[in-house]
Amino acid sequence: MHLNPYGEDAVNLAADLANRRPATHEELAERCRAAGMVLETPVTPQDLERVHAVLDAWEKVVDTPGEHERAELVNRMLAESAAYPRMTDHAGGWHLHYRDGRQPLGAVLFSLISVGTALHLVGRGVHRLRRCAVTECTMIFADTSRTGRQRYCSQRCANRDAVRRHRAGHRAGHRTDHRDGPGGGRPG
């Protein structure tokens, strides 16, 4: 996985892993490969433990809406995880790594998620990382939309909330004005 200027793949991988935590280190390895990562070292149960700790810290970032508090948490993750950037072509194609060579997967994900999240927040907007607006839905998403006003994790949740707001509106007595209904049409 190459870090693009907006860190999109890395921040999406973090959301995917946080939303559905991997149960085993084999599953972790499989999902990282599926996301396009080239794994350089054998994956162990310690990597899984490390990743859970990283995701716990990352979810705190998600749940901290204040811009400066949020940036402070990301900065702490960067300080602990990232080394100076360096060029590599280990996976074909030159790109940057913000870490030392041949690190275990847990450490690689720590720096990838920290740097990717930082790039996303500075490149697209500090507010563009959140949980779904549907109260019972805890899904996290990185808002990569054009407008930066995505509120739901999925179209399904958007529809769910629209139906609910419509019903709430009716209960409160706000009737929709059906102008084109029977009796409201054109004369003749």
Positions that interact with Zn ion (CB under 5 A): 132, 134, 137, 139, 153, 157
Residue placing its CB nearer to Zn ion in the complex, 39 or 71: 39
Residue 152 CB, shortest distance to Zn ion, in Å, is: 5
C-alpha–C-alpha distance, residues 140 and 88, integer Å: 31
Residue 137 CB, shortest distance to Zn ion, in Å, is: 3
Distances (CA, A) of 113 to 18, 45, 54, 76, 179: 11, 19, 8, 13, 52
CA atoms within 13 A on the CB side of 12: 17
Which token pair is 36? Answer: 């396009």
- CB atoms < 10 A from the CB of 51, how many? 27
For the chain, what's the residue count? 188
Residue placing its CB nearer to Zn ion in the complex, 42 or 45: 42
C-alpha–C-alpha distance, residues 71 and 127, integer Å: 10
Residue placing its CB nearer to Zn ion in the complex, 3 or 74: 3
Residue placing its CB nearer to Zn ion in the complex, 71 or 82: 82
